[in-house]
Amino acid sequence: MKKKLLSVLMSMVIAASLAACGGAGSAEGAGAASGDGAQQASATGGSGEKEFTAFFAVPGAEINDDNEIQQMIADKTGVKVKETWLTGQTAEEAVGTLIAGGEYPDFIDGGDGMKQLYEAGALVALDEYIDKYPNIKSYYTEQEWDRLKQDDGHIYWINQFQNIKGKDTTCTHNDEAFWIQTRVLEWAGYPEVKTMDQYFDLIESYNEANPTMEDGTANIPYTILCDDWRYFCLENAPEFLDGYPNDGSVIVDPKTKKVIDYNTTDTAVKYFEKLNDEYKKGIVDPESFTQTYDEYIAKLSTGRVLGMIDQWWDFAFTAGDAIKSAGLDEKGCMYVPLPITISEDVHNQWHNSGGVLNVASGLAVTTSCDDVEGAIKFIDDLLGQEVHNLRFWGVEGVDYEVDDKGIFYRTPEERTNAADTAYKASHLCTYSYFPQWLGTSDDGKNANMPSDQPGEYYDSLAGKVKDCLSAYGAKTYVDMLGTNEAPGPWYPMYSYSNNLTTDTDAGVAWNLMGEVKHEYLPKVVMADDFEGAWDEYMKAYNNCKPEDFLAAMQTELDRRIEEAAKFQ
Amino acid sequence: MKKKTKIDLNTIKKQKALLIWGGLLTIYGFIFYYLPLTGWLMAFQNYKPKDGILHSQFVGLAKFVRLFSDVTFLKVIRNTLAMGVINLVVTFITAIAFAILLNEVRSNFGKRTVQTISYLPHFLSWIIVTGILHDALSGTGIVNDILMKLGIVDQGINFFAHTQYFWPIVAFANVWKETGWNAIIYLAAITSIDPALYEAASIDGAGRWAKILHVTLPGIKPTIIILLLMNVGNVLNAGFEIQYLLGNGLVQSVSQTIDIYVLKWGISQGDYSIGTAAGIFKSLVSIILIVLANQIAKRSGEERLF
Amino acid sequence: MANGNNNINLKNPPLSGSDNNNKNRAAAAKRRKVSAGDKAFTICNTIFMILFVVITLYPVLNTLAISFNDGTDALRGGIYLIPRKFTLKNYITVMQKDNLITGAYITVLRTLIGTLLALVTNAILAYIVSRKEFIFRRALSLFWVITMYVNGGLIPTFLLYKNLHLTNTFWVYVIPGTISAFNMLVIRTYMNGISESLTEAAQIDGAGYTTIFLKVISPLCKPVYATIALFVAVYQWNSWFDAMLYNRMSDQYTTLQYELMKLLSSVTNQGTSAEAMKNAMGTVTPTSVRAAATIITMLPIICIYPFLQNYFVTGLTLGGVKE
């Protein structure tokens, strides 16, 4: 009997030793390196390049150790960064553990835990270094650098995103909108659709005339994603309908400089009453409030859903790709945004041009880094145009081509490669959480990001989408909505509300409001008696003390305006 | 039958081997299970990572007061307890029943095959299982299909929109995923039953049902009791993932558990103290429950934990 | 030794033991007419088992189908048992993950060492607290029972391991948590069921505690040892959180599951911004990668399982063990 148990163990040992043979090389190599502290930045390979570590408290794609472009960047800059990403924890938890242990990677973006890192004294003040490095220095204006200062007057992190150099060439409307399938617009002869009522009328009449798709499956006229934090697809439309931009948590009246609660406006009542109406008519998908994100994406992917509210990025890279790969985009099932407001005299601000500086987080260098100078120089190097192109376009002739006018473009094969998970891991290296530019490159011709390159963008659109755009005299999604300058120096207010914690009354109120809206808004839409349900909702809502939250938002708004005044 | 052993030099000498090994393992247990409990201090502090446990500000029972004065927290205790008890009862009974019935399968091949398949769902993550469950229970899913064909309902039920279905769905998901796995322990226990007992029962003319009742069940009773005692202490650990994945705004009043509450109002707010306070509360309830359960077991002369 | 005889009596190979078992039962059954009730029972039981197999097999087959289906296509839903657009891409993506081989090596190692260590320590502890005459029997049991319900939390535990120099080492996988009160109590319960007459007989022959543990108790405990070995092995095999927490920066100690989790979270659709989503999406989707990773993880366990299964499915003949 002993033999039996032994044979089981033996079979496991054999399996292990087989694996060991395969892994011996890497394990031995690693064993040698493990002698000194694994945290240490140490020279690797024979080339003598410096290796830094980085941790980003967001989920992200790890790249392979032998990544090709990473090596090219290392050859140019002498630096390689080993990146690790958040897995299976919240940002706060991950950061909390790091602080408790007192050991940090060289670079860090703590996401929502950034403030904790600052308070723990884990970050290096960057002020004195910034002036020495021209690429970093010019990354933000004086005013923007000032906004990044913490309460001790120093700058500790550099926000990496949404920063525009040269000309804003944004083609995609990356943000929220009322979306509609091109087949609906085509059927109606590309009418002007400007108000919420017109939008739903159009969907209703299309659905009446065409209740099913070509293959006989029933259309879903309008669905609402409501899964967890994604319920913004249900709740924040009133701010846009009133013609305000996405401040996220409140409306800011640019004239009076006062915050307005968009949850309780007349427009909010009208919007939810409309949804309630459409729900009763069977236009709103009855599974709206119970579907998961995956189910929602599945519905969109089959092309059955005529319209919905969402952020572009929330469905385009999932359902959008599925629609394309099934050829449904050529049947008019791809979505375009519409400039919807509550009434025709309200001007829409669904799209804002220009960058958005989110001061709440960014890339920082930690006190564990033994070569701060080298680390900062590397950030500077990454912003140089040549390296920047290498990061986001790749290698010329391999990842993109250049035509005789010097314009970058990609062949369909290169475009496919750029989206391939394995190819990305072994070949591409964007250092995506290091500072980066949008807009146009130093040559004045090309966009910094392939997705912003107009030719590249237009080529990737389906014929039906091109038809639809040209019927409205548009070349890009942004043209469909028109664009607006950022409303004021306070924008966006969500960078404040996102970081409210339950330490404050405002934070408690903000969290409770979220809970109540999450539970009651679906009930309001599904209610037989709208008035009654709305009253009940308002009662629960007012119990959360929204006034505490609004007062804090007003204070922050005033502070931001005052800060900005210093630079005028 | 039971004699109290007196502690004297002679017994100590006799039990030397037990004492040495027991002592070593106690030291191990102390280091790895009891030392980290210094972290419980965090519940009485306004813990900030920058200050650590040593230098954070003490706030007494403030965190506990905050928890228990929040109606939402009282509601999540109710939810956790309800789901914990339902899950305990249902998964317990199904696992035992499955183990016994599987043991009754005559064909060796059948027995092995069924058993191998039955535990496989254990290896699927909750996100896969809840995904399939969502499919099956959707308006056009197989469950509504069957219900409509049988004429029980004439329109698909939106199972996830009504609070009354949530707890049963969670219980079913647990049964589905874990019955085969949980049964393994009972199957092992059944192996220790003396076959002569079955034979004797057969000679007495007992049918299979009678043999289950009078041989198999009593044979695995100690295992059942011990697992029951241990699980009674776990009723407040009704889980996190499954409720999080199956829940939505409409049913959040019955779906949120203590663990979800702690994540929402504690950890994701950078407040570790709230989480620790809730953890201490859970521990206390668990220990009280198992001490009570253990007493009951002791009184009725059953196998007990300690 | 006298108890050697006992051992010989017990040494029926499991398979023939079960044959005997069945034969005995069959013989007993022949002695009387098979009752109608028994027949009905068999039929009902068979139907129930078939139903049960269908219900539990479905999610596994569904996962298998999705793992072989094109990721983008699978987003549309409606895949049940057969892939709609067959591809090996998901498996290729998983297999190409960097560090996978190191991870597999470490995982096998931790499963082996961890299981052995846990088996030995839990068995010893269970044996100690199963001795009725042991003076600290109750106290020691209580001491361990409590460990099941208390938890110092993430940060204190992290600090402890750091101070013990367990972080950034392999040993953090197998040393903490090797004794689990749950496993220990399951073994103890089984040991309690073993007839005291056996140990008494051995004691009379002059056997000490160690000898009794090794020669009398342990051979009888194989079914429960196999069960616990399975539990621990599966736990070790599936663990990834400890690798993430304690060896985040030590690639040489990464585990298979941690690499798979990293891959999965890198294609996740939980991105909360355009940046995150653009980073994440590729030709594979979280659902398809998860399916492939799940199947890859399950395979070794399915392969090893039949060996362990011998110990707790085919009934062993343990004549005279029970009181």
pLDDT over 50 (residue B180):
yes
Residue of A nearest to B51 (CA): A120
Residue in the block written with tokens 């509609």: A180
Its CATH class, for the domain covering A50-165+356-453, is alpha beta
pLDDT recorded at residue B1: 41
The C-alpha of B133 sits at a distance from chain A's nearest C-alpha, in angstroms, of: 12
pLDDT digits (tens, 9 = 90+) for B114-155: 998 999 999 999 989 999 999 899 888 889 989 999 988 888
Q: Which of A22, A100, A421 lies nearest to residue C158, judging by beta carbons?
A: A100
Task: Give pLDDT, residue A420.
Answer: 78
Mean pLDDT of all residues in C292-312: 86
CB A326 within 8 A of CB A249: no
3-class state of residue A354 by DSSP = coil
Q: Considering only CA atoms, give the Rg of chain B.
A: 24
SS3 A174: coil
| 3-state SS class at A544 | coil
pLDDT at residue A266 greater than cutoff 90: yes
The whole-chain average pLDDT of chain B stands at 90
CB atoms within 10 A of CB A403: 9
**Percent of chain B residues topping a pLDDT of 70:** 98
- Side chain identity at B206, as an amino acid letter? A
Q: What is the rounded CA–CA span in Å between residue B167 and residue B89?
A: 13
Question: How far is the C-alpha of B191 from the C-alpha of A169, rounded, in Å?
Answer: 73
Residues of C in contact with B36 (CB under 8 A): 151-153, 156-157, 160
The per-residue pLDDT for range A77-88, each reduced to its tens digit, is: 999 999 999 888
Handedness of CA B186, B188, B194, B196 (dihedral sign): positive
Looking at the complex, report in whole angstroms how far the Cα of residue C102 sits from the nearest Cα belonging to chain B: 22
> Distance (Å, rounded) from C-alpha A338 to C-alpha C289?
35
With contacts defined as CB-CB under 8 Å, which chain A residues touch B264? Answer: 511
Type of residue at A60: G
pLDDT in tens, C95-128: 888 889 999 999 999 999 999 999 999 999 999 9
SS3 A445: coil
What local confidence, expressed as pLDDT, does residue B140 receive?
80
Report the percent of chain A where pLDDT is more than 90. Answer: 64
Phi, psi values for residue A79, rounded to 5°? -135, 140
Which residues 118-157 of B have a C-beta within 8 angstroms of C? 118, 120-125, 127-129, 131-132, 135
Q: Where are the beta strands (DSSP E) in C179-245?
A: none
pLDDT digits (tens, 9 = 90+) for B202-239: 898 888 889 999 999 999 999 999 999 999 999 998 88
Which tens digit of pLDDT belongs to each residue from B22-66? 999 999 999 999 999 999 999 999 988 888 888 899 999 999 998
Tokens of C156: 């204190």
CA pseudo-torsion sign B18, B21, B24, B28: negative
Q: Please give the pLDDT value at position A196.
A: 97
Determine the topology of domain B64-299 in CATH: MetI-like fold (1.10.3720)
| Closest by Cβ to C190, choosing from B25, B125, B192 | B192
The first and second tokens of residue B41, run together, are: 């201090």
CB-CB neighbors (< 8 A) of C308 in chain A: 8
Residue A561 has which token pair?
């305006």
Residues with Cβ < 8 Å from A107, sequence gap 6 or more?
Answer: A52, A53, A54, A55, A81, A363, A364, A365, A366, A369, A375, A434
pLDDT at residue C282, rounded to an integer: 53
Mean pLDDT, residues A335-353 taken together: 94
CATH 1.10.3720.10 boundaries in chain B: 64-299
A176-350+461-556: CATH number = 3.40.190.10
Overall average pLDDT of the B68-80 stretch: 93
Instruction: Give me the pLDDT at residue A239, please.
Output: 95
pLDDT tier, B240 (very low <50, low <70, confident <90, very high otherwise) = confident
A-to-B residue pairs, Cβ atoms closer than 8 angstroms = 81
Task: Give the position of tokens 């996102």.
Answer: A498
Cross-chain residue pair A420–C14, CB shorter than 8 Å = no
Burial of A273 (0-12, 13-18, 19+ CB in 10 A): middle
Q: How far apart are CA C57 and CA B123, in angstroms?
A: 12
Segments of chain A assigned to CATH 3.40.190.10: 50-165+356-453, 176-350+461-556
Answer whether residue C242 shows pLDDT above 90. yes
Task: DSSP for A96-140, please give it.
Answer: HHHHHHT---SEEE-GGGHHHHHHTT-B---HHHHTT-HHHHTTS
Please state the rounded mean pLDDT for residues A140-168.
92
pLDDT in tens, A206-231: 999 999 998 888 999 999 999 888 89
B46: β partners: B57
What domains can you pick out in chain C, each with its CATH number?
A: 98-266 (1.10.3720.10)
CB A500 within 8 A of CB A510: yes
* Distance in Å, alpha carbon of A566 to nearest chain C alpha carbon: 31
Determine whether A531 is exposed, middle or buried from the number of CB atoms within 10 Å of its CB (0-12, 13-18, 19+): exposed
Backbone φ, ψ for residue A54 (5° rounding): -145, 145
Which residues have a Cβ under 8 Å from the Cβ of C307 and sit 6 or more positions away? A4, A7, A8, A11
**For C140, phi and psi rounded to 5 degrees?**
-65, -40
Is some CB atom of chain A closer than 8 A to the CB atom of B66? no
Whether B25 sits inside 8 A of C121 (CB atoms) is yes
Query: Between chains, do B36 and C153 touch, taking CB under 8 Å as contact?
Result: yes
**Whether the predicted pLDDT of C268 surpasses 70:** no
Q: Which amino acid is at A166?
A: G
Nearest to B7 by CA among C209, B15, C212: B15
- pLDDT at residue B3 tops 70: no
What pLDDT is attached to residue C284?
A: 74
Tell me the chain C residues in contact with residue A34 when contact means C-beta distances shorter than 8 Å: 168, 250, 252
What's the pLDDT score for residue A479? 93
**CA A48 to CA A31: how far, in whole Å?**
20
Judging contacts by C-beta atoms under 8 Å, the chain B residues touching residue A93 are: 267
Which residues in chain A have their CB less than 8 angstroms from residue C273's CB? 313
Report helix, strand and coil shares of chain C as percent, to nearest 5. 70, 0, 30
Instruction: Extract the tokens encoding A90.
Output: 């919240």
Question: Is the minimum CB–CB distance between B140 and chain A shorter than 8 Å?
Answer: no
Nearest CA in chain B to C228: B185
Q: What is the spatial distance between Cα C4 and Cα A243, in angstroms, rounded to a whole number? A: 90
pLDDT class of A394 with cuts at 50, 70, 90: very high
Of A65 and C7, the structure prediction assigns the larger pLDDT to A65
C135 contacts B15? CB cut-off 8 A: yes
For testing the chain B interface, which of A502, A505, A511, A524 should be mutated: the one with the most B CBs within 10 Å?
A502
Dist CA B192 CA C21 (whole Å): 13
Q: Which is more confident, C204 or C78?
A: C204
| pLDDT tens string A22-58 | 333 333 333 333 333 333 444 444 457 899 999 999 8
Distance CA A331, CA A182 (A): 9
The mean pLDDT of chain A is: 88
pLDDT band at C313 (very low <50, low <70, confident <90, very high): low
Higher pLDDT, A390 or A20: A390
Interface test with B, best of A104, A292, A526 (most B CBs within 10 A): A292
Residue A492: asked if its preceding bond is cis (omega within 30°), the reply is yes
State the DSSP H helix or E strand holding residue A29, giving kind and residue range, or none if neither: helix A2-33
Comparing B101 with C283, the larger pLDDT belongs to B101
A14, burial (CB in 10 Å: exposed 0-12, middle 13-18, buried 19+): exposed
Higher-scoring residue by pLDDT: A440, A489: A440
Residues 6+ apart with CB under 8 A from A262: A236, A238, A239, A242, A244, A250, A251, A268
pLDDT for residue C72: 82
The reported pLDDT for the residue numbered C213 is: 94
Strand order in the sheet with A305-311: A220-222, A305-311, A176-181, A335-338
